[in-house]
Amino acid sequence: MIMNDFNLDKEPKIGTGFKTPKGYFDDFQLKIMQHLPVQEPKVIPLFARRSTWMLSAVAVLVLALMIPVYTIFYKTNEEIDAVSMENYLAYQSNISQYDLINLLDSEDIQSLDVDLALEDNTIEDILTTNNNLENYIYESE
């Protein structure tokens, strides 16, 4: 078949030529609706639901009980630490004033100066009452 002057827009519309069996669409609708999954409400066993609730309640209760225990424990711990630290420093015989002097460098002393903001007469008092002063001067030389 030769169509020398074929122009799709000028030609009468050409259809697809497709047919469907008689009653196909009605049958199709029925077939699909019959095959829809029946959606029943989900059955949740009472026991399973109760156990979940009970577990949650127990978990909350345990957490609630833990809070004061934790707070007390935490606080006590901190106090003990501070006291033992003081005791350690005060009664530890291994740490002498010489050790402390050796650990401090000039920067530390400067920062101590700033932090403590000592007044002149306080320094004078310390210098006059401290017996080891001469030793310190001797050590620093």
Contact flag: residue 2 with other proteins (CB under 8 A): yes
Residues 6+ apart with CB under 8 A from 112: 104
- CA neighbor of 65 nearest in space, from 53, 73, 77: 73
What is the pattern of x (binds other proteins, CB under 8 A) and - over residues 22-61?
--xx--xx-xxx--x--x----------------------
> What own/partner pairs with CB < 8 Å and gap ≥ 24 does 108-113 have?
none
136: exposed, middle or buried (Cβ count in 10 Å: 0-12, 13-18, 19+): middle
Contact flag: residue 93 with other proteins (CB under 8 A): no
Q: DSSP per residue over 34-62, as a string?
A: HTSPP-PPPP--HHHHHHHHHHHHHHHHH
Complex with other proteins: residue 40 or 134, whichever CB lies closer: 40
Contact flag: residue 8 with other proteins (CB under 8 A): yes
Contact flag: residue 16 with other proteins (CB under 8 A): yes
Complex with other proteins: residue 14 or 117, whichever CB lies closer: 14
Contact flag: residue 69 with other proteins (CB under 8 A): no
Q: Which residues bind other proteins (CB under 8 A)?
A: 1-9, 14-21, 24-25, 28-29, 31-33, 36, 39
